[in-house]
Structure 1
Amino acid sequence: MKLYGFGPAASAQRVRIFLAEKGLDVPTEQLNVRDDDQFAAAFTAMNPFHCVPFLELDDGTVIAESVSICRYLEELHPEPALFGRTAVERAIIDMWLRRFELDGLVPMVHAVRNHVPMFAGKVVPGTRTDLPQLPAMVTRGKEMMEIFLGRVEPHIARNEFVAGPEFTIADITGFFAVRLTRVLEMDIAARYPAVAAWFAKVSARPTFQL
């Protein structure tokens, strides 16, 4: 199998951290998405959504989307278990994974892409369009993240990690959602000290030294 990614891309970094936590080494080819490598015909045929990462299996099957790639690798290498071992563990981890992805990461991604000049013409991941960057999207994304962090704060205060006592895929996704608050200069430490402490703890893991 071969993994296609781009070092600075958060989506690719999520898989890289997952692999490191598993102690796995997968051959990787770097596509410079800033130079539009992903739009080449060969890569478009493999992944028409034009985003990284994506994983090409030995039989030619292509799996895109960070979490989908990680789920596949978890099936092949179940230990250490980052998606849980029991039905209850898997459900709880999936619940928090979805919460952090849908209510935290997605609003932050859209806010950042509508704020950072580098993403002009690229507000929709995997596209090159003339859609303008909208300041209202930045404001709404930050507002949504504030609501989300307010909900998460008491939970994190009672738990070692996002989904309970063990580090999981939910912590990887959560890390990238919270990290984007820095891009938007959101000061979360004072209002959400438990989230800030969790973020610092996860950031210190050897696998997170990006």
Structure 2
Amino acid sequence: MKLYDAAWAPSPRRVRIYLAEKGIEVDRVPVDLRSDEHLGAAFLAINPRGVVPALELDSGEVLCESSAICRYFEALQPAPSLFGESALDIARIESWTRRIEQEGYAAVVYVLRNQREAFRDRGVAGKWPAIPQIPELAERGGILWAAFSTALDAQLATRAWIATDAYSFADITALVTIDFAKAARLAVPEGLGNLRRWHAAASARSSAAA
């Protein structure tokens, strides 16, 4: 199988960190986003949506979406578990992963895609007709980011990791989101010591460099 990857994009990084935590090796095919290789005919034949990552199986079937790819590998190699083992832990990890995606990651995308010149008429990632920027969405993203960061800091007040007692896919998702926020010039607000402590611990894991 082959993983179509991009070095600096957040979604492929989420898969790389997950694979590193699991100790899984997969052949990788780099896709140059800066030159719009993901929008060229060759890659669109792999994923018509024009986004990475994409996992091409030996059968020729292609799986897209970073969380779906990680779920696939979790089913193949359950240990060590990153999606939870008990029913309650599975639910906790899923709940926080969705919240991080819908509040934190969405906030970064709102800001990044609606104010940077590089994304003019590219308000949504991938192969789409021209989608204009909406400045109000960038403003909304900044408000959402501050609220999300505060909520995550509160969650980490009495625990080392976000969803359960163990490092999980929710932590991977949050690490990628917070690091990606730098591209939108969003930072963890001052005074959120719990979140900063957690970020230092997550960043110190060897998988964070994947």
Does the CA contact (< 8 Å) of 2:146 and 2:189 recur in 1?
Answer: no
Q: Give SS of 2:45's match.
A: helix
CA spacing shift, 1:113–1:68, aligned 2, 3 Å = same
CA spacing shift, 1:185–1:191, aligned 2, 3 Å = farther
Q: How does 1:35-184 map to 2 (within 5 A)?
A: 35-127=35-127, 129-184=129-184
1: CA distance, partners of 2:168 / 2:136 = 33
Aligned to 1:6: 6
**TM norm structure 1:** 0.92
Q: Give SS of 1:203's match.
A: helix
Does the CA contact (< 8 Å) of 1:153 and 1:195 recur in 2?
Answer: yes
Aligned to 2:192: 192
Q: 1:75-116: CA deviations, max 9, x gaps?
A: 111111111112111111111110101111112112112233
Letter of the 1:93 partner, please give it.
I
2: CA distance, partners of 1:29 / 1:81 = 26
2: CA distance, partners of 1:127 / 1:46 = 13
Does the CA contact (< 8 Å) of 1:107 and 1:142 recur in 2?
Answer: yes
Q: Percent identity?
A: 36
1: CA distance, partners of 2:184 / 2:53 = 24
Number of equivalent positions = 210
1: CA distance, partners of 2:137 / 2:38 = 26
**TM norm structure 2:** 0.92
2: CA distance, partners of 1:111 / 1:5 = 24
CA spacing shift, 1:46–1:181, aligned 2, 3 Å = closer
2: CA distance, partners of 1:43 / 1:172 = 27
Does the CA contact (< 8 Å) of 2:94 and 2:170 recur in 1?
Answer: yes
Q: 1:148-177: CA deviations, max 9, x gaps?
A: 222222211111111121111111111122
2: CA distance, partners of 1:28 / 1:21 = 17
Q: 1:5-51: CA deviations, max 9, x gaps?
A: 11111111111111111111100111112222223334323311110
Does the CA contact (< 8 Å) of 1:112 and 1:138 recur in 2?
Answer: yes
Does the CA contact (< 8 Å) of 2:10 and 2:180 recur in 1?
Answer: no
Q: Give SS of 1:34's match.
A: coil
Structure 1: where are the runs of 5+ without partners? none
Q: Give SS of 1:139's match.
A: helix
Does the CA contact (< 8 Å) of 1:4 and 1:52 recur in 2?
Answer: yes
Structure 2: where are the runs of 5+ without partners? none
CA spacing shift, 1:5–1:195, aligned 2, 3 Å = same
Q: Cα offset for 1:129?
A: 4.8
Structure 1 residue 23 corresponds to structure 2 residue 1: no
